């Protein structure tokens, strides 16, 4: 990716049509669409440009977790570990989980580098359901939440852009049969056959009255595909933002990339962003100028940047006249289920792939709305799982149990090894609701903070879903790995810069433009007013295409 790289000095000496902060699904898709429409686009990425660095693309840190090269199997804040994480595409900025009784600082499992978190994602690209666009009616008994009656756009409005995003990211798989009663669309390109283990699981799920189907994935399924979730893909297989958007934007459409560049604040007048202040690792800073600024740094970093951009014109933070910047944080509640088929062949690598999903509990005739279940893919190595388990316990109300768990290490290691080698892993993804006091802030030393607690309504829903899935899986040997209550499992963070129709109850308007600012747009998952119950990547990509179309009037979507 050497073509298209630019220095900070050269970038600061130009005025850009579009400056995109972040290169994940939202930023990459939006930037590509704008570049293809003839706009001069500059991407700002706080992490490295992996493909241009032969050290980063060394085999030891591609195709596996960086923790596998660490002495303690869990990342510390030591420089050597941080270096390994960064070379493995991971964020090295600490995050504070601020609880009612204590604060726990940890390294979040999110991406940093060209492609953002999409370089690590599991490639599942699924549409939201129409019910997701009218969220309040789905939860009539939930108290004190901030769900709107409806999104400012409808499922029908986003539908054409869903199709364009599926085409752009080369999504393959099947369409859920439960969708047949509300939409008719062309089949997706097919995916490879299921392994014997997954055929067994699909038959068992069907026999339990469920509706399993082949999970839509942005994957080319090259020979030897390992569904590289959680780490950089060593093959030309994972269709992430770096591969699908950033590379062609640079090589074919004259976009430029400023890597290893941390955007520290936005300068603004009463009505416009006038400068993007960037800082390089050596401490040098410059101010970039652009006609349009698009934030896509993620639903934690984008609101933090606005909060850090306070000024006399914007004393509470940029675009924060509503007081909602950083509020209404949502993160999906995810549990793992390890199901053990009889005679599962250890050697069949396809058994660890993400392939199946079912949505029977997404929204049913009783009005109950929970979420989706899909293949998780390969579990992290046992050494990592055990170290992570101990760390979770040490920072939980059950910290006193950590020594007992350590004493049981041989038995626990054996159990985890059995799950890793002999089980198919399913992940249940439950929609959580927005609450004003679940939020992103920054500390006095600049550390990003989350304040997030599951409310009683969500705790009841987690318990209900566990009971429903226990009934569904009763004919299959399985183990439940409870993760839904763990704030370190920051899956699919969204909602912190919601869009809406009113300046009083939203940060962005229906075109994703910040209220009161003519040229500031947000195209990452921050804009979600509700979280839905499935992976957000396709909705982020579809919306990014929609916003680019609104700005350019282009009648065609990006192509690779």
Mean pLDDT, residues 60-82 taken together: 82
Tokens found for residue 272: 């416009």
Which range among 47-51, 356-360, 403-407, 481-485 has the greatest average pLDDT? 356-360
In the DSSP assignment, the letter for residue 153 is: S
Mean pLDDT, residues 551-559 taken together: 69
Which pLDDT does position 380 carry in this prediction? Answer: 78
Q: What order of strands is seen across the sheet that includes strand 478-481?
A: 213-214, 356-358, 371-375, 424-430, 333-339, 478-481
The chain-wide mean pLDDT, for the chain, equals: 89
pTM, full prediction? 0.93
Mean pLDDT, residues 398-425 taken together: 60
Question: Is the model's pLDDT at 558 over the cut of 80?
Answer: no
Question: pLDDT for 251-268, tens place per residue?
Answer: 999 999 999 999 999 999
Mean pLDDT, residues 87-97 taken together: 92
- Residues 26/544, Cβ–Cβ less than 8 Å: yes
Question: pLDDT for 174-185, tens place per residue?
Answer: 999 998 877 778
Q: Grade residue 346 by pLDDT with cuts at 50, 70 and 90.
A: very low
Q: Grade residue 400 by pLDDT with cuts at 50, 70 and 90.
A: low
Determine the 3-state secondary structure of 513 from DSSP.
strand
**Extended beta strands in 423-540, E state:** 424-430, 439-442, 448-451, 478-481, 520-522
DSSP string, 211-225: --EEPPBSB---TT-
Which pLDDT does position 90 carry in this prediction? Answer: 92
Question: Is the model's pLDDT at 55 over the cut of 50?
Answer: no
In the DSSP assignment, the letter for residue 32 is: H
Question: Is the model's pLDDT at 555 over the cut of 80?
Answer: no
- Report the alpha-carbon distance of residue 289 to residue 272 in Å, rounded: 11
Please indicate whether residue 224 or residue 271 has the higher confidence score (pLDDT). Answer: 271
Which pLDDT does position 58 carry in this prediction? Answer: 45
Q: Grade residue 404 by pLDDT with cuts at 50, 70 and 90.
A: low
Q: Report H helices in 451-536.
A: 456-472
Question: Is the model's pLDDT at 113 over the cut of 60?
Answer: yes
Question: pLDDT for 280-320, tens place per residue?
Answer: 888 889 999 999 999 999 999 999 999 999 999 999 999 99
Q: Grade residue 224 by pLDDT with cuts at 50, 70 and 90.
A: confident
- Report the alpha-carbon distance of residue 56 to residue 242 in Å, rounded: 15
Beta bridge partners of 42: 19, 256
- Report the alpha-carbon distance of residue 127 to residue 133 in Å, rounded: 12
Please indicate whether residue 72 or residue 53 has the higher confidence score (pLDDT). Answer: 72
Which pLDDT does position 121 carry in this prediction? Answer: 94
Question: pLDDT for 349-399, tens place per residue?
Answer: 566 788 999 999 998 666 689 999 999 987 777 677 766 666 665 656 655
Which pLDDT does position 2 carry in this prediction? Answer: 46
Which pLDDT does position 364 carry in this prediction? Answer: 67
């Amino acid at each position: 990716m050497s073509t298209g790289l630019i220095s900070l000095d050269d970038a600061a000496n130009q005025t850009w049509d579009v400056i995109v902060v972040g290169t994940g699904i939202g930023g990459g898709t939006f930037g590509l669409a704008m570049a293809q429409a003839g706009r001069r686009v500059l991407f700002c990425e706080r992490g490295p440009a992996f493909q241009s660095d032969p050290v980063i693309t060394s085999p030891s840190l591609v195709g596996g977790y960086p923790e596998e090269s660490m002495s303690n199997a869990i990342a510390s804040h030591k420089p050597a570990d941080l270096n390994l994480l960064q070379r493995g595409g991971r964020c090295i900025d600490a995050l504070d989980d601020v609880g009612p009784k204590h604060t726990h600082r940890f390294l979040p499992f999110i991406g940093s580098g060209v492609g953002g978190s999409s370089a690590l994602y599991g490639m599942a690209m699924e549409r939201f359901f129409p019910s997701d666009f009218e969220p309040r009616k789905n939860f009539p008994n939930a108290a004190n939440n901030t769900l709107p009656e409806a999104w400012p756009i409808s499922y029908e409005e986003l539908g054409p852009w869903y199709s364009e995003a599926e085409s752009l990211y080369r999504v393959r798989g099947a369409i859920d049969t439960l969708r047949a009663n509300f939409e008719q669309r062309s089949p997706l390109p097919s995916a490879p056959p299921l392994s014997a283990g997954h055929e067994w699981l699909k038959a068992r799920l069907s026999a339990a009255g469920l509706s399993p189907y082949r999970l839509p994935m942005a994957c080319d399924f090259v020979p030897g595909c390992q569904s590289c979730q959680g780490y950089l893909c060593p093959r030309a297989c994972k269709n992430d933002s770096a591969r699908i958007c950033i590379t062609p934007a640079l090589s074919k459409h004259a976009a430029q990339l400023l890597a290893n560049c941390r955007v520290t604040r936005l300068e603004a007048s009463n009505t416009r962003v006038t400068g993007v202040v960037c800082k390089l690792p050596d401490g040098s800073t410059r101010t970039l100028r652009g006609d349009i600024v698009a934030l896509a740094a993620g639903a934690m970093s984008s609101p933090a940047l606005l909060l850090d951009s306070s000024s006399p014109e914007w004393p509470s933070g940029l675009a924060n006249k509503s007081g909602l910047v950083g509020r209404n944080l949502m993160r999906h509640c995810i549990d793992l289920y390890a199901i053990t088929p009889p005679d599962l062949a250890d050697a069949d690598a396809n058994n660890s792939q993400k392939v199946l999903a079912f949505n029977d509990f997404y929204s049913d005739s009783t009005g109950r709305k929970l979420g989706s279940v899909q293949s998780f893919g390969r579990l992290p190595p046992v050494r990592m799982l055990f170290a992570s388990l101990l760390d979770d316990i040490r920072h939980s109300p059950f910290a006193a149990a950590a020594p007992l768990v350590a004493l049981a290490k041989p038995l626990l290691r054996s159990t985890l090894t059995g799950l890793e080698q002999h089980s198919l892993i399913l992940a249940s993804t439950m929609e959580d609701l927005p609450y004003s006091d679940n939020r992103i802030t920054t500390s006095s030393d600049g550390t990003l903070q989350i304040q997030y607690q599951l409310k009683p309504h969500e705790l009841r829903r987690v318990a209900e879903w566990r009971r429903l899935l226990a009934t569904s899986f009763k004919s299959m040997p399985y183990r439940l790995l409870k993760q839904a209550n763990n704030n370190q499992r920051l899956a699919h963070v969204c909602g912190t810069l919601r869009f809406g129709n009113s300046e009083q109850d939203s940060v962005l308007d229906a075109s994703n433009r910040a209220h009161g600012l003519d040229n500031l747009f947000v195209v990452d998952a921050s804009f979600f007013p509700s979280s839905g119950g499935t992976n957000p990547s396709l909705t982020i990509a579809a919306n990014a295409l929609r916003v680019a179309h609104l700005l350019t009037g282009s009648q065609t979507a990006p192509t690779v």
